[in-house]
Structure 1
Amino acid sequence: MNALTVEIHDVTPALAPEIGEIYDALREAGIERPTLLVVPAYLDARGHSWDLRAYNNMAHWLRQRQAEGCDIIQHGLTHRAAAPPPPGLRNSFMHHVFSRGLAEFAHLDGVEARARLVVGRNILEACGLHSEGFIAPAWQQSPAAIAALRDLGFRFTAFFGHVQALSSSPSSALSPPSSSASLREAGEAMPPPLRTPALTFDAANALIDYGKRAVMWLREQWGRTRPLLRVALHPADVRGRRPLDHIVRRIRLLARERRVVSYGQWFAAAEREVVRDAA
């Protein structure tokens, strides 16, 4: 099955107008159940925390979308790095240029990662929302954060170039975690990652916009042979050069060739293929 996920990232009350505009544009394009990456307590540039529990309208809207079949994915806790990156040119570039200080989980140790994951999960659950997976802000997370995800029973995570099940088989990735021992404590290895590109387009100016469109076109061509392709939309896509219209056109074309799925549907289909191949 050639599949496509259509994802709205950075879902938070702080960016509700932009999220609504993206959602409506996708509905007009025939995408009725996009995947929603929810930030439980978004921290804006002024230091204000947008704890979802304090915003009933957004929480209600998300519960409605969840009831309709949209995937709810936990997307960090605050979506803002709490400290400068470790020394090094690559770390500096990724922090200041690629993620612009928003890669919250990129360099966390296990204790801090686990604490943020638990608080974020508790906020979502208090709002009546359930997340099977976790995708870190800017697709960046430390090895310690990945270990914490497994300990806490998350089923999957995703990066800029691949999707990672956190258990050894699609079936166990969809079933409840053991109450007696975590997957990592039990010594269960993770399966190989599924190489699949994420396409993302937000751009601050025309030069970046057209350059990014070219890069994403190349990534799309690479992804044509992959069973899963991902398109990530961000609130910034409705600002500046407004690449939203371009993204929606790309989604319309991709949806002619691929089935739009949630991550849950993708892993369920993978499980069926494993069972069929083993028969």
Structure 2
Amino acid sequence: MGEVQDAPRSVMLVLHDVAPETWPDYQPFVEAVDALGDVPMTWLVVPDFHHRNALQHAPAFCRLLQRRLTLGDELALHGFYHADDGPAPRSPRELFMRRIYTHEGEFYGLDQAEAMRRLREGLAVFDAQGLPVKGFVAPAWLMSEGTRQALRQLPLAYTSTPQHLYRLPDFQAIDAPGLVWSARSAWRRGLSRVVSDWQCRRLAGASTLRLGLHPVDMRHRSSRDYWMNTLRTLIAQGRQPLTKSAWLERQLQP
């Protein structure tokens, strides 16, 4: 399906790895975004981040999420533990993807049954807290074929990879390029700035851009300021801030 040609250009602000222990990292940034005006955000929330952040044990945090929904934000399921605690890698490719590229590709190696179990349990956690969920994003965007098959059977609107949103259940791909930083070290932050600046120039004419933020970005002034300045610039250029589901609904318009 083609994009709506007459729709204004947009920007999606996406907060990854949202959990009780990462909220203090995000809080000052979210407050600064709120001060800009009407900027809805998509929050990728982990039901039990690293096995130590169970949402059902964090009522104050759940109330915060409920309040964000009333402000126009949306929630997406972001794995269950956001930690790859499966069996040891069995091939060089698995070793690279699960131990070098990331240690958090929770859904990279799951078969359909286990993926379905975690997805259903994750959705049940949100439902028990009265928190509606629009989509699913796999940690590190890594999904097994079993995960894809499980997602086809669930009442979710979308999933995503770094360059696309996929409308579920048929996995219809829609271009939605994203920017993301690797902020764990000074040299990574420097390289991320160069790459992101280049991408912003290359994608200046794109109908939408996704800004994919992580808690570690918020711990360094250079990355934190970069995201705020980029958001301000894109809005000043006429891009409308939208959540992922709002942007997808726009694509359905005639």
| Fold in common (TM above 0.5) | yes
Residue 210 of structure 2 corresponds to residue 250 of structure 1: no
Paired amino acid for 1:269: R
Write the distance in 2 (CA, Å) between the matches of 1:225 and 1:209.
25
8 Å CA contact 2:39, 2:242 repeated in 1: no
Residues 7-41 of structure 1 deviation map (CA, whole Å, 9 limit, x = unaligned)? 11111012121121221232234454211111111
Three-state SS of the structure 2 residue aligned to 1:13 is: coil
Write the distance in 1 (CA, Å) between the matches of 2:96 and 2:200.
24
Three-state SS of the structure 1 residue aligned to 2:49 is: strand
Alignment-derived partner of residue 209 in structure 1 = 189
Paired amino acid for 2:241: V
Alignment-derived partner of residue 175 in structure 2 = 195
Residues 31-79 of structure 1 deviation map (CA, whole Å, 9 limit, x = unaligned)? 5421111111111xxxx42110110110000001112210111111111
Write the distance in 2 (CA, Å) between the matches of 1:65 and 1:226.
28
Alignment-derived partner of residue 129 in structure 1 = 131
Alignment-derived partner of residue 3 in structure 2 = none
| Percent pairwise identity | 28
Superposition deviation, residue 263 in structure 1: 1.6
Which of 14, 24, 31 does residue 17 from structure 1 map onto? 24
8 Å CA contact 2:157, 2:245 repeated in 1: no
| TM-score, structure 2 as length reference | 0.90
8 Å CA contact 2:47, 2:55 repeated in 1: yes
Alignment-derived partner of residue 251 in structure 2 = 270
User: Closer, same or farther in 2 for the Cα pair 1:231/1:41, shift >3 Å?
Assistant: same
Q: Mapping of 1:145-184 within 5 angstroms?
A: 145-167=147-169
Superposition deviation, residue 196 in structure 1: 2.4
Alignment-derived partner of residue 231 in structure 1 = 211
Consecutive unaligned residues in structure 1, runs of 5 or more: 168-188
8 Å CA contact 1:3, 1:229 repeated in 2: yes
Alignment-derived partner of residue 28 in structure 1 = 35
Write the distance in 2 (CA, Å) between the matches of 1:31 and 1:94.
38
Write the distance in 2 (CA, Å) between the matches of 1:235 and 1:88.
30
8 Å CA contact 2:165, 2:176 repeated in 1: yes
Residue 14 of structure 2 corresponds to residue 7 of structure 1: yes
8 Å CA contact 1:5, 1:231 repeated in 2: yes
8 Å CA contact 1:195, 1:226 repeated in 2: no
Write the distance in 2 (CA, Å) between the matches of 1:238 and 1:73.
20
Three-state SS of the structure 1 residue aligned to 2:109 is: coil
Three-state SS of the structure 2 residue aligned to 1:14 is: coil
Write the distance in 2 (CA, Å) between the matches of 1:22 and 1:105.
29
| TM-score, structure 1 as length reference | 0.82
Alignment-derived partner of residue 4 in structure 2 = none
8 Å CA contact 1:42, 1:50 repeated in 2: yes
Higher RCO structure, 1 or 2 (CA under 8 Å, sep 6+): 2
